[in-house]
Amino acid sequence: MAEKAKFQAIKGVRDILPPESALWNRVEQAAREVFGTFGFAEIRLPILEHVELFARSIGEETDVVSKEMYRFEDYESPDLDAQRKTLSLRHPSVERPFEVRFFAHNVDVLTTMMEDGLKTGQIPKTPENRILVLELRSTFYDFSKTFAPPDYKGVQNRLDSYVKHFQETALAVMLGDQLTLRPEATASVVRAYIEHGMQVLPGNVKLYYMGPMFRRERPQKGRYRQFYQIGAEVLGSSDAPGIDAEVIEMLMRLFERLKLKGAVLSLNSIGDKNCRPAYVEKLRAELQKVREQLGADCQRRIETNPLRVLDSKLEHEQPIIEKLPRIAENLCADCRAHYDEVKRQLGLRGIAYKENWRLVRGLDYYMRTTFEITATGLGSQNAVCGGGRYDGLVELLGGPATTKGIGFAIGTDRLILSLQEAGEGAAPGGPAGKADGPDVYLAWFGAAAQVAAIGLARRLRDAGFVVELPAVEMKFGKSLGLADRLKALHAVIVGDDELAAGIVTVKRLSDGTQQKLSEQELFSYLGVV
């Protein structure tokens, strides 16, 4: 018999098990409490979104959009897809007329299915799809005239070019929406803000979220394909630097509360649409001069996104990058004033920061303030949080041009790793997060004792105690042995003798002391120990 396959979580994706999950809950709870005191409320967002949302927000040229998204076509018509895949496998020959006939039949059937699909809305009624389906039909008429039965003595290469054209056109038709697992959530928050008309709400809209994100990166310590973020965004008509500073203050309060070790805040301003384009051109011109000394990635970025060259970690590129023009010296007066005021506002809040002119961040929507926080114990993936201002994004996604935005996202996996490395992860990990094991292991012996134990367990649990109640009767020694292995604090024993006397026997498992108590005495005993 074939060996059964062992299932494993897929690459870059992991399970978070107890007791570590208790630390996750503690971190998430702290975030809810701290963010709540700053007036933030939770938004729960979908995990699936349109590809286009991220392509437009984050930018087509970024690694996240061009390489890392888990995307798929969400079609309602698997038969249509099967039909066009069949078509793309056929290579008819003029030497075999039945192949040409069969191919023509396939094209006709597929085109009719697509025409019907467009009418019923089974496939998206986009202008591109309409043109492609019309193209299929008109080429089919053309083809039918050229290769008319019963005479197929066309030229093979003529036939080949028709076949290729049909296959490519059919494949270009979008059979459904292009969807993706979200790689981040800022774009989703902005989508939701616009979709629900939140601009009419009074004051700034302050939202936080937590949950999984997906990027197809090369997995390593602190870098996963399914990872988690705790993020927050402020959307509103003001871009006052005090907002930037308060968002950062909120983050630092959370990290302080969690006792995160070695948190360092890096800060930069990357200008806006008035000053950045000129800076980027200046940078590009300088990069052209040193092109030959750069690696392949940076050479490509000279054309696609020169700012990303500043992100490079390659050793030999560092001295070259250090000599490049710096954005701080190229900001327009408004951006300079904004940046200076952000720094002053951070000072008012007693928040230390390090300026880092190379902090450009990997997503296109940022402008002006960008920041990142690193922590200890993480190796090369040491950014626990990244964020910044994105004033043009709401308008770019079709919302009011007056809405500005700023926010951040904490990489929860990395935050937890750093806490664990610093020993903060050794939090009590029992079922209720109080101790390693249950408060009470309720050992019962005999059918009547089970009935009493079920009732007692309910009353203990109602009072907040963690109770382990064996589902089946066990021998005394085995049952108490299990209580030990589960690291229970107490074994409460209910047998015939206890039932008859209206009491229970309580054994403290740390030292074996044993006493007989009434139920009322048991509650006060458990309450005080």
Q: Site residues for ligand HAM, window 169-198 (CB under 6 A)?
A: 184, 186
> Residue 333 belongs to what H/E stretch?
helix 333-348
CB 524 within 8 A of CB 460: no
Least separation in angstroms between CB 284 and ligand HAM: 24
Q: Does 413 bind ligand HAM (CB under 6 A)?
A: yes
CB 199 within 8 A of CB 400: yes
Q: Is 521 exposed, middle or buried (0-12, 13-18, 19+ CB in 10 A)?
A: middle
Closest of 407, 385, 395 to residue 234, by C-alpha = 407
Other beta carbons within 10 Å of 52:
13
Taking the alpha carbons at both ends of the chain, their separation in whole angstroms is: 57
Which listed range, 76-84, 284-292, 346-354, 379-387, lies at the site for ligand HAM (CB under 6 A)? 379-387
Among 92, 271, 388, 399, binds ligand HAM (CB under 6 A): 388
* Three-state SS sequence of 385-398: EEEEECCCHHHHCC
Q: Does 386 bind ligand HAM (CB under 6 A)?
A: yes
Among 206, 215, 338, 490, binds ligand HAM (CB under 6 A): 215
Least separation in angstroms between CB 250 and ligand HAM: 13
Three-state secondary-structure class, residue 313: coil
CB 84 within 8 A of CB 114: no
Token digits of residue 290: 């040193």
Q: Does 246 bind ligand HAM (CB under 6 A)?
A: no
Q: Is 79 exposed, middle or buried (0-12, 13-18, 19+ CB in 10 A)?
A: exposed
Which listed range, 94-102, 194-202, 385-393, 445-453, lies at the site for ligand HAM (CB under 6 A)? 385-393
Nearer to ligand HAM, 219 or 446 (CB): 219
Q: Does 227 bind ligand HAM (CB under 6 A)?
A: yes
* φ, ψ at 428 (rounded to 5°): -55, 135
Least separation in angstroms between CB 434 and ligand HAM: 30
Nearer to ligand HAM, 57 or 505 (CB): 57
Nearer to ligand HAM, 241 or 438 (CB): 241
Nearer to ligand HAM, 99 or 217 (CB): 217
Q: Does 391 bind ligand HAM (CB under 6 A)?
A: no
Q: Is 431 exposed, middle or buried (0-12, 13-18, 19+ CB in 10 A)?
A: middle
Q: Does 217 bind ligand HAM (CB under 6 A)?
A: yes
| DSSP string over 236-301 | ES---HHHHHHHHHHHHHHHHHTT-TT-EEEEEE---TTTHHHHHHHHHHHHHHHGGGS-HHHHHH
Among 59, 231, 392, 430, binds ligand HAM (CB under 6 A): 231
Q: Does 239 bind ligand HAM (CB under 6 A)?
A: no
Among 263, 384, 440, 488, binds ligand HAM (CB under 6 A): 384
Among 236, 306, 392, 411, binds ligand HAM (CB under 6 A): 411
Q: Does 236 bind ligand HAM (CB under 6 A)?
A: no
Which listed range, 28-36, 377-385, 443-451, 464-472, lies at the site for ligand HAM (CB under 6 A)? 377-385
Tokens 């959530």, residue?
Answer: 185
Nearer to ligand HAM, 413 or 468 (CB): 413
Token digits of residue 171: 């494949």
Size of the site for ligand HAM (CB under 6 A): 23
Per-residue binder mask for ligand HAM (CB under 6 A), 78-107, x = binder: ------------------------------
* Exposure on the CB side of residue 182, measured as CA atoms within 13 A: 20
- Contact residues toward ligand HAM (CB under 6 A) are 184, 186, 215, 217, 222-224, 227, 229, 231, 233, 383-388, 407-409, 411, 413-414
